[in-house]
Amino acid sequence: MSWRQYRPLLQPISRPDPAASPVQKLIRRRPVAAIEAFADADIHPLLARVYSARGIESPGQLDLALTRLLPPDLLLNADRAATLLADALEADKRIVVVGDFDADGATSTAVVVSALRAFGARHVDYLVPNRFEYGYGLTPEIVALAARDQPDLIITVDNGISSVEGVAAATALGITTLITDHHLAGRELPQAQVIVNPNQPGCNFPSKSLAGVGVIFYIMLALRAELRSRNWFAHRAEVNLAQYLDLVALGTVADVVPLDRNNRILVAEGLRRIRAGHCRPGILALLEVASRQRGSVVASDLGFAVAPRINAAGRLEDMSIGIECLLSEDMADARSRAMRLHALNQERRVIEQGMQEEALQILEQLALEDTAAPVAMTLYQGGWHQGVIGILASRIKDRLHRPTIAFADGDAGELKGSARSIPGIHIRDILDAVATRHPGLITRFGGHAMAAGLTLPRSAYRQFATAFVEEVERHAQDVHLQAVLESDGELAADEFQLPLATALRFGGPWGQHFPEPVFDGRFAVVSQRIVGERHLKLVLTPAGGDTAVDAIAFNIDPAVWPDPSIAEIEIAYRLDVNEFRGQRSVQLMIEHLVPH
């Protein structure tokens, strides 16, 4: 097929989804994108079209070499942080890292602890707040706990930008604080010695999408440069910071930050090192227990297989279990810790399933109709697990395509909430507006556009629920409240080939704001059967073709499928590669299915 002949086979379409969700989904094809700029590049025309639709204007923008990484001196206060840390190393000071209880926080902690030790720090340890006892961030209680080790310096990773009281408590004890974070700043910044955050006022760093692990990695780059200027490596080996990019890739993907070019460079290099086996035993062990092949790992494997197992530690027990797995330098030890994380993740799934069933019963009691669904949802039930409400909020948000907050009981008289949002509704700004209109209603909150956390008095739940919906209504006038699944068009019958599927799989890294290609079309059903408990395995033939292709749809309704009366379906899908017993074949990963 020549470049001039290649065109999408159908015009943009929009179809409702009559599935079980109260809010219908739409499949919308991306606008036709020009691909002439890729004519001289060794890139399949389809992949060129996919790139162009994602804002890539020339093959040069696909260069993800580390040399293209934005320099650390563009990040506000990275130089000051480097000076502070270099002084601490020279003075042999005691350092405590205060992390966060998610995968971004765990990888951030592992990066800074490992790197500082490699640089020569002899007294560096970490502390992660238990979410059930201390809550989020550098609180005065966490400072008091850290003070038992008599640190000279506290470094926060993936948190701290809202820790006004905690920094004040540390200062009162004579402890210096270095805040490294990426969350949005509030009206008041903590009076730390140094703050490094691409989203703080006055920072003009071109990539505002760094995850917490990306921020601390940049500070380690700046620290190495500062140590070089001090001739620190005259009598010790210089640290190769690329060895930490496996952690940076994992944390960046896990935190679902937008994959702009800078983040894609970090993730691509981390994935390259993992595939080559140049990564820490903990990540290799987690891939093993998740049954993922190291040599073919992609970003989605980190996001959907590795990250949930690390997150399970912070959700159910203590994130130090995940951090120790990432810090482990022994494969046998790492495998043991990975198995523990795997067991915790299985336990988390059971808890989540029960909570989701209860949440769906609540929705059924509300008798939601398409025309009457509220613009936002708040859900609470006594007994829900505080560590799993974030996942529950995400599931309900996906089902209804509405901003959703799920609450669980916190300390005496408090509720802990976890919020998830949809494009166009900035959830942290919504909470900020509610707090402004109703002083005292929210005890504390923090987060970013798509996710946030909050605490409020249990007695204020109904008032908050009303205020939250009212505030979302104020912001939702121009927001599309139907779930939209964007498609890259229809594949020709001769494009269901393994080389193209392989090129698409490794054409990323794909992720937030740089989504994996999804296609749509009509197929004849050759066969259908259930595998596992709720997965539908199909053999299909594309319209206009006669070559059969395997497909799978996860978590279908077993009361509906399989259905021998259905001979034709319309699907949105990803063209992927299935590896089984050493054999590789094309497989369609179904995102959306409509019988005909």
> What single-letter amino acid sits at 533?
E
Do 105 and 232 reside in the same domain of the chain? yes
5, part of any domain: no
Do 488 and 543 reside in the same domain of the chain? yes
Q: Label residue 477 exposed, middle or buried (CB < 10 Å: 0-12, 13-18, 19+).
A: exposed
Do 465 and 542 reside in the same domain of the chain? no
Do 187 and 317 reside in the same domain of the chain? yes
2, part of any domain: no
163, part of any domain: yes
4, part of any domain: no
Do 257 and 134 reside in the same domain of the chain? yes
322, part of any domain: yes
Radius of gyration of the chain, Cα coordinates, nearest whole angstrom: 25
β-bridge mates for residue 419, sequence order: 405, 452
Peptide bond into 129 cis (omega under 30): no
CA distance 335 to 313: 15
Q: What is the pLDDT along the chain (596 residues), one digit of tens a residue?
A: 333 232 222 222 333 333 334 445 688 899 877 788 888 888 999 999 999 999 999 999 999 999 999 999 999 999 999 999 999 999 999 999 999 889 999 999 999 999 999 999 999 999 987 766 666 789 999 999 999 999 999 999 999 999 999 999 999 999 999 999 999 888 899 999 999 999 999 999 999 999 999 999 999 999 999 999 999 999 999 999 999 999 999 999 999 999 999 999 999 999 999 999 999 999 999 999 999 999 999 999 999 999 999 999 988 888 999 999 999 999 999 999 999 999 999 999 999 989 988 988 888 776 554 445 689 999 999 899 998 999 999 989 988 889 999 999 988 889 999 999 998 899 999 999 999 999 999 998 888 888 899 999 999 999 999 999 999 998 887 777 778 889 999 999 889 999 999 999 999 999 999 999 999 999 999 999 999 878 999 999 998 778 899 999 998 888 888 899 999 999 999 999 998 877 899 999 999 998 88
β-bridge mates for residue 465, sequence order: none
346, part of any domain: no
Render 112-130 in DSSP notation, one character per residue.
HHHHHHHHT-SSEEEE---
Q: What is the CATH number of the domain that holds 456?
A: 3.10.310.30
Q: What is the CATH number of the domain that holds 215?
A: 3.90.1640.30
Do 45 and 188 reside in the same domain of the chain? no
Q: Which of the listed residues 481, 515, 536 is the one where a domain comes to its end?
A: 481
Q: Which are the contacts of 256, defined by CB distance < 8 A and separation ≥ 6? A: 303, 450, 451, 511, 512
The total number of structural domains that make up the chain: 3
CA distance 40 to 413: 65
CA distance 514 to 266: 14
Beta-strand (E) ranges in 360-424? 377-380, 404-409, 414-420
Q: Which of the listed residues 460, 481, 502 is the one where a domain comes to its end?
A: 481
Q: What is the residue range of 399's domain?
A: 368-481
Do 45 and 154 reside in the same domain of the chain? no
Do 556 and 412 reside in the same domain of the chain? no
> Token pair 């790492």 is at which residue?
334
Q: What is the CATH number of the domain that holds 21?
A: 2.40.50.460
End-to-end CA distance of the chain: 31
Do 178 and 324 reside in the same domain of the chain? yes
> What single-letter amino acid sits at 201?
P
Q: Which of the listed residues 442, 458, 481 is the one where a domain comes to its end?
A: 481
9, part of any domain: no
What's this model's pTM, rounded to 2 decimal places?
0.88
CB 105 within 8 A of CB 159: yes
CA distance 543 to 346: 40
Instruction: Determine the pLDDT at residue 130.
Output: 74
393, part of any domain: yes
Q: What is the dihedral of CA 267, 310, 447, 420, to 10 degrees?
A: 100
Do 263 and 327 reside in the same domain of the chain? yes
Do 394 and 454 reside in the same domain of the chain? yes
3-state secondary structure (DSSP) of residue 163? coil
Do 137 and 216 reside in the same domain of the chain? yes
